[in-house]
Amino acid sequence: MFGSKWVFKEKRDGRFRARLVCLGYSQMLGVDFSDNYATVGNDITFRVIMVLRLIYNLQAVLLDVETAFLYGKLEEEIYMEIPMGYKEVYADPGNNKVLVLKMAMYGGVQAARHLFKRLSDVLITLGYNPCESDPCLMYKSMEKGYVLF
């Protein structure tokens, strides 16, 4: 079981955003997670793709997924302390209630691993294949050529 905290940020338009993050530094190997390795794209692969894009005048689309780490599904059973602000609901001093996480959260040690696993599972069901030399590069054969992801 580990703690959580609120992170507040003021947006450009003056509104405020609150994000609940878990205190991943207090997670323990073997208790809260068993593996935290997340596949990372190779810089050489990126450079080759950029050179091919320039040579063949290919179209590139950049993608930024908002709240990306919140889409990973947890495989482990993880408990988190109730965050400050919600504790008033459980005012009983002897109360030891906790939250059971079903999805990954920002700050979790294994959040990047679960995000990559879910993304690659979705891409494989859509017909993409992982590249043998770089598993972060997924490709799909189309009528007019290939789509790289």
The pLDDT, as a whole number, for residue 54 is 92
Q: Which residues pair with 2 in a beta bridge?
A: 80
Residue by residue, DSSP assigns 96-131 as --EEEEEE--TT-TTHHHHHHHHHHHHHHHTT-EE-
Mean pLDDT per 10-residue run, the chain (149 residues)? 81 87 67 63 87 88 73 77 70 68 74 81 92 88 84
Q: What is the domain count for the chain?
A: 1
Return the closest-CA partner of residue 80 out of 27, 137, 132, 130.
Answer: 27
Tell me, what's the pLDDT at 92?
A: 58
Position 51 scores a pLDDT of: 92
Q: What is the pLDDT of residue 87?
A: 62
Range of the domain at 85: 4-148
pLDDT of residue 95: 65
